[in-house]
Amino acid sequence: VTDIKNKHALVGIVMGSASDGEIMSVAKKMLDDFGIPVEMRILSAHRTPDEVTQWASRARESGIKVIIAAAGLAAHLAGVTSAHTILPVIGVPMEGGPLKGLDALLSTVQMPKGTPVATVAIGNPGAINAALLALRILGLGDAELQNKLEDYQRQIAEEVLKSDKELQAKIG
């Protein structure tokens, strides 16, 4: 039986292929930076369907609160995961293939009624926003985390304002 490896994990990241690892490690890093323990797995909805089912079914009892599922092409991973849990599932469409992730986006977001998937943008911005969305959800029960999220929001604002300042200096 495919069990949860990290018994402290609050967020489970599952991806359909090792090739998704580079992009999804950005999501993991953001969760690490916020001090959230993560379970990160490679499990395929099509090649290891039973393992996906087991892992998704056990996530809640193991203490996971939010699942992030990333897949490309006909991306079924997030939907299948959502079908086996009542945890919130975030879907990240991967960019791979000639259609550049449009297929993965529609396969992830156009879920029929009854089985929700919280879909974010294709590829890198989606991976980052999936982590942020998980943090916002976890923040509902964690005031300290909410403070950190407010800090983060201030910080990305300041980065924009700093870019603006540099531009003004350059323009003169």
What is the C-alpha to C-alpha distance for residues 169 and 171, in angstroms, rounded to an integer?
Answer: 6
Contact pattern for a copy of itself over residues 33 through 62, marking x by CB under 8 A: -------xxxxxxxxxxxx-x---------
| Residue choice 8, 22, 33, 140 for contact with a copy of itself (CB under 8 A) | 140
Q: Which residue has the tokens 């959800």?
A: 137
Asked if residues 81 and 14 have their Cβ atoms less than 8 Å apart, the reply is yes
Nearer to a copy of itself, 35 or 100 (CB): 100
The least CB distance from residue 99 to a copy of itself, in Å, is 7
In the bound complex, what is the minimum distance in angstroms from residue 63's beta carbon to a copy of itself?
A: 11
User: Rule CB under 8 A: is residue 139 a binding residue for a copy of itself?
Assistant: yes
Binding flag, residue 1, a copy of itself (CB under 8 A) = no
* Footprint on residues 74-113 left by a copy of itself (CB under 8 A): 74, 76, 79-80, 82-84, 86-88, 90, 95, 97-103, 105-113
Q: How far is the CB of 133 from a copy of itself (least distance, A)?
A: 4
169 binds a copy of itself (CB under 8 A): no
Location of structure tokens 């990333």 = 70
Residue 66 phi/psi, 5-degree rounding, is -135, 140
